A and B are shown apart, each in its own frame.
Chain A
Amino acid sequence: MRFVRREDDRLLTGQGRFLDDIEGPNQVHVRFVRSQVAHGRLDLVDVEQARALRGVFAVWTGPDIIDQVRPLGPSKADGGVFEDPLFAVLGPEAGFIRHALRPILAVDTVRYVGEPIVAIAACDPYVAEDAAALVDVIIDELPALSDPFAALADDAVRLYDWPDNVCLDLKVSTGDVNTAFAMAAHRTRRTLHSARLSCSPLEGRGVVAIPDAVGGGITVYSSTQIPHMVRDAIADGLGWPQHSVRVVAPDVGGGFGAKAIPYPEELFVPWVARTLGRPAKWVEDRYEHFVSAIGSRDQIHDIEIALDRDGTILGVRDHFVSDVGAFSPLGVVQPYNTAAHLAGCYRVPNLSIHMTSVVTNKPPLSPYRGAGRPEAVFAMERIIDIACREHGFDPSDVRRSNAITRDEIPYSVGIPYRDGRPIVYDSGDFAGCLGTALDLAAVESDPQPNRGRPVGFGIACYVEGTGIGPFESAEIDMLEDGTVIVATGACSQGQSHETVFARLAADVLGISADRVILVGGDTAATSFGWGTLASRSAVNAGSAIRRASENIARQVTDELCSLWEVAPEDIVFADNRVSVAGTPSISMSWVDVIARFSPKFGTPDATRNGLSASAHFVPETVTFANGAHVAKVAVDTETGQVEILDYVVVHDCGPLLDEEVVNGQIEGGVAQGLGAALFEDLAYDDNAQPLNPNFIDYILPPASEMPDVRIHHVETRSPLNPLGIKGVGEAGTIPVAAAVLNAIDHALRDQGVEVHRTPASPKMITALLAKGRQS
């Protein structure tokens, strides 16, 4: 069989190795007893019956382990605590960030339904669950917060020993917003809400820790996007030296942000393995994913736009509140990403943004695919449409006239990015992308109904800072048989790294890609690594691999130029050989080339160190991808159901490394955006009890809800990396909710309806229609 992706050899034949497929000899299975109460003090935790059950090895409560497994602090990737370039630029007057420490097992207080209280190690998952059912937990309930505005009230219960429930308050601005609004011909202000979402990769989280047979170290397999950060968190939290912990991300069944922070379970399971002296395994079940993996979005904007008489955007003022749940391990990322992308592809000379993040008794919040940008685009693109309707402008015209053109690039927005560098759009043709999308979608202002259902078009544009630093690593090692080992800190959760990254190295070295072995996500393979998140791996790992490959080529060139007495530019890497241009008789196989670098008897000379190279790509700052989406929808006004009739994506991520992979990222991203637009809403009642922590009521969009996506690529090169590329992992998701809800709003233009919140469920649409009929 021949498969087009390297990964497919194993993934299509049942030979993949996902986390739960890994077994250690005599492993114990860990099960957590999680809080069923959103907020309260632990009164009684009785584990005696569980401990006595046959097949149970050990049972632990919070006080049992607090001295040995330190609570988790903010993630290494977060600003605010570590030396942070953003806060350095904004200065202390811009605001503050607070971090709560996250205990591995709750010690005296529980703060969300799903927080681990007790851990059990048993002979198999069935018995572990039997034991969990025998644990008796009594909790004195405290008032629970499930609404961030209630949490902001003066008399609200406090989650922490803080003066209020605010964990981040930050302001950023450019221009003179007050003057702009005072001068404006038109102003429109609304409250716009992006619902809380679950990342829901089909594979949940999980950890297997296996003590090494020799040497006293431990190997930790984790279904993670960030193995190096997990290694560091384990070493820090358990007080173990970094060299003794090897973290490996095996085949990972999707991540989307859910696996991009270190979790308590990732520290605890290795500790269990070490404590019991045998392998330990924990595999998250689907309920646990809903209540204990991070959620995201949950952002409410009070946004106002000022337009000139001709529809020119004069300014935007926005105060948004993020409900971050009980912990916010990447506290600055989601809100600041929202701020940094709010202006998007438009000229907004005057911009004032106030971010407030509030702790409540929901599970922790951290970025999910899009990471603050879908929220920004939803707020901005909805307010543009609402303002257009209110003041009689055509939404296409207003977008066209305000979009930044190719000639204005590089374009400076006037506020810093999260890395502290000024936001400068480095490449792109935003107005061109928009125009192409409008043409392809054949946008009409008053489309005909479809089978009796009103039809609307919705437009949403976006920019995305991609390829954020600090760095990514690449190490290349050539074996004597000609195999090229390429190791990088980036790891794949479906992004086809083994195929695309292997080809990057192969292309530089003129080697067929099947001789390149890619090792991603193994801390034993590269000392440093950051991970796969934030649309960063192609840019950073790709560039690092390119540079390391070029370094190899340079070493070979130097060696052979002197041997063959030719100029460097005459050396050709092609057809699995190194040759002299125009003189094919002078040529060497890679095995022979590598042999020239191999240490041998009697070669004490410095060049005989093997053939290897290492590179760390450190980007100056992010590079901006951009695009425009247009949705065409029909709305059934009797049922509130929405059908996507057409969906157009125009997208610019620079030169395509692999068009099929890029299309796959966009299509998958659109599906997740569609889920957010129409279905997904992780909801809680007034006591912060989850209302739908399952796939029955938290509906992931199925195939029949997914339209064909018409994709058009625009390729403008980024000047910021050797490949000229921009990231693509999140782009497909970012503008979808905005485009679809704009389209629904447009379809219902005659029904007295205005859409302010995701998802546009039948429940919401029928309620809006009923309200529209009354007024």
Chain B
Amino acid sequence: MKPAPLHFVRASSYDDVWRAFAESGGDAKVIAGGQSLVALLNLRLATPGTVVDVSGIDDLRHMSVSPSEIRIGAMVAQWTVEHDPEIQQILPVLSRAVSHIGHPQIRSRGTVGGNVAHADPSSELPALMVVMEATMEVLGPSGLRRVPAADFFLGPYTTALDDDEILVHIVIGREAIERRYGFHEIARCRGAFAMTGAVGSMKRGPESLRLALFGVASAPVQIDLGSLDVMSAWPTEEFDRLLSGHFAEMLAPNDDFQATADQRRSYAVVCTKKVLHELLG
């Protein structure tokens, strides 16, 4: 359980990154906090010829928080976001979702950008990004692209990033900051990967609801409760029945060691209800 041989490049500018990418011939990986990547290196599940450390790029370490916009540089530690008093005040769901990632000793070095770019299907942040309609600012040698979160997460560990691009900022807009949120996940124990989770938000009434599930598909799943025509039954058992019926059709989660597909579908109903309770009382 030791990494295979690798070249290590300390990038202090974006140009350094593009150069390292080019010289590696497509065999480079960016390391942010390394909390996922180094584990994969140790297991030799990832054996990149070059590892590019972007922690020396100041722009990526910057975070700005205001009621109109939150910009998080891709190298900002999860721990920093979790403990930021302003974020705790104006967008507490972000701190809360981050607090479910691993353990404090992981979040201390793990980055928000790294987590998002890793796109683990069981991870909290991709689903939250989708519900917040956050923008992923993506930079490559040919310039900056702004990718809506809904278009960013393509599959397990797969994003809209091209091979020569990196995620540089996550931008959360005023509309998202002004919404109220609900969050719930089910894991075997604290610190374990979520088996299923849901995050939802609301501006005013139930018609403004947004909901996304994680752990039930290869990427976050947006659920439009309005179009499913279930809210009229809330909060009765009929709601559960209707939603279960929809989820049975819509969701085809994995059967794996921790949970069956049926179990995950039923967890999706449980998590959705918890989120709605939080939002609607």
Please report A residues at the B interface, Cβ cutoff 8 Å. 125-126, 129-130, 133, 285-287, 638-641, 679, 683, 691-692, 696-697, 699, 701-702, 704-705, 761-763, 766-767, 770
Contacts and interface: CB of A to CB of B under 8 A. Distances in A.
B155 interface: no
Contacts of B2: 125-126, 129
A467 to B, nearest CB: 36
21 contacts: A125-B2, A129-B1, A129-B2, A129-B4, A133-B44, A285-B1, A287-B43, A638-B270, A639-B186, A639-B267, A641-B186, A683-B257, A699-B192, A701-B189, A702-B189, A702-B190, A704-B190, A762-B258, A762-B259, A762-B263, A766-B260
Contact of A762 (B5, B43, B44, B188): B188
Q: Per DSSP, are chain B's interface residues mostly helix, strand or loop, or mixed?
A: loop
A766 B44 CA distance: 36
A130 B189 contact: no
Contacts of A683: 257
Interface in B236-262: 257-260, 262
A640 B260 CA distance: 12
Contact of A770 (B3, B5, B186, B262): B262
Contacts of B4: 129-130, 133
Nearest to B260: A763
A288 to B, nearest CB: 9
B260 A767 contact: yes
Contact of B189 (A640, A705, A767): A705
Interface in B190-233: 190-193, 195
Contacts of B44: 129, 133
Contacts of B267: 639
A287 B259 contact: no
Contacts of A704: 189-190
A633 to B, nearest CB: 15
Contacts of A640: 263
B266 interface: yes
Contacts of A763: 258-260, 263
A687 to B, nearest CB: 15
A766 B263 contact: yes
Given A129-B2, A286-B1, A702 B257 contact: no
B188 A699 contact: yes
Contacts of B3: 126
B1 A762 contact: no
A326 B195 CA distance: 33
A639 B273 CA distance: 13
B258 A697 contact: yes
Contacts of B192: 696, 699
A691 B189 contact: no
Given A129-B1, A129-B44, 16 more contacts: A129-B4, A286-B1, A287-B43, A639-B267, A639-B270, A641-B186, A691-B257, A697-B258, A699-B189, A702-B189, A704-B189, A705-B189, A705-B190, A763-B259, A766-B262, A770-B262
Nearest to A639: B186
Closest 9 CB pairs of A and B: A126-B2, A285-B1, A704-B190, A638-B270, A697-B257, A766-B263, A129-B2, A692-B257, A705-B189
A705 B270 CA distance: 21
Nearest to B3: A126
A133 B5 CA distance: 12
A767 B266 CA distance: 11
Nearest to A765: B263
A130 B6 CA distance: 12
B189 A679 contact: yes
A129 B189 CA distance: 33
A666 B195 CA distance: 32
B241 to A, nearest CB: 13
A298 to B, nearest CB: 17
Interface string B165-190: 00000000000000000000010111
Contact of A130 (B5, B188, B191): B5
Contact of B193 (A125, A696, A762): A696
Contacts of A701: 189
B1 A287 contact: yes
Interface string B1-40: 1111100000000000000000000000000000000000
Nearest to B269: A638
A82 B76 CA distance: 64
Contact of B191 (A129, A287, A697, A702): A702
A699 B189 CA distance: 9
B248 to A, nearest CB: 13
Nearest to A701: B189
Contacts of B260: 763, 766-767
Contacts of A129: 1-2, 4, 44
A531 to B, nearest CB: 29
Most A-side CB within 10 Å, residue of B2, B3, B259: B2
Contacts of A125: 2
A30 to B, nearest CB: 14
Nearest to B5: A130
A692 B258 CA distance: 10
A70 B65 CA distance: 68
A285 B39 CA distance: 13
Nearest to B263: A766
Nearest to B256: A697
A641 B43 CA distance: 31
A699 B3 CA distance: 25
A50 B226 CA distance: 61
Contacts of B258: 697, 761-763
Nearest to B270: A638
A638 B189 CA distance: 16
Contacts of A697: 257-258
A676 to B, nearest CB: 15
B274 to A, nearest CB: 10
Nearest to B42: A285
A554 B266 CA distance: 73
A308 B75 CA distance: 71
A126 B47 CA distance: 13
Nearest to A702: B189
Contacts of A130: 4-5
Nearest to A703: B190
Contacts of A762: 186, 188, 195, 258-259, 263
A640 B193 CA distance: 17
Most B-side CB within 10 Å, residue of A133, A638, A705: A638
A286 B43 CA distance: 11
Given A763-B259, A763-B260, A767-B260, A679 B188 contact: yes
Contacts of B266: 638, 766
B71 to A, nearest CB: 33
Contacts of A702: 189-191
Contacts of B263: 640, 762-763, 766-767
A705 B44 CA distance: 32
A285 B44 CA distance: 13
Nearest to B193: A696
Contacts of A133: 4, 44
B3 to A, nearest CB: 8
B216 to A, nearest CB: 14
Nearest to A125: B2
A744 to B, nearest CB: 16
Nearest to A31: B2
Nearest to A126: B2
Nearest to A695: B192
A685 to B, nearest CB: 10
A171 B191 CA distance: 46
A491 B49 CA distance: 46
Most A-side CB within 10 Å, residue of B43, B44, B190, B258: B258
A679 B187 CA distance: 12
B263 to A, nearest CB: 5
A762 B262 CA distance: 12
Nearest to A638: B270
Contacts of A285: 1
Contacts of B190: 702, 704-705
Contacts of B1: 129, 285-287
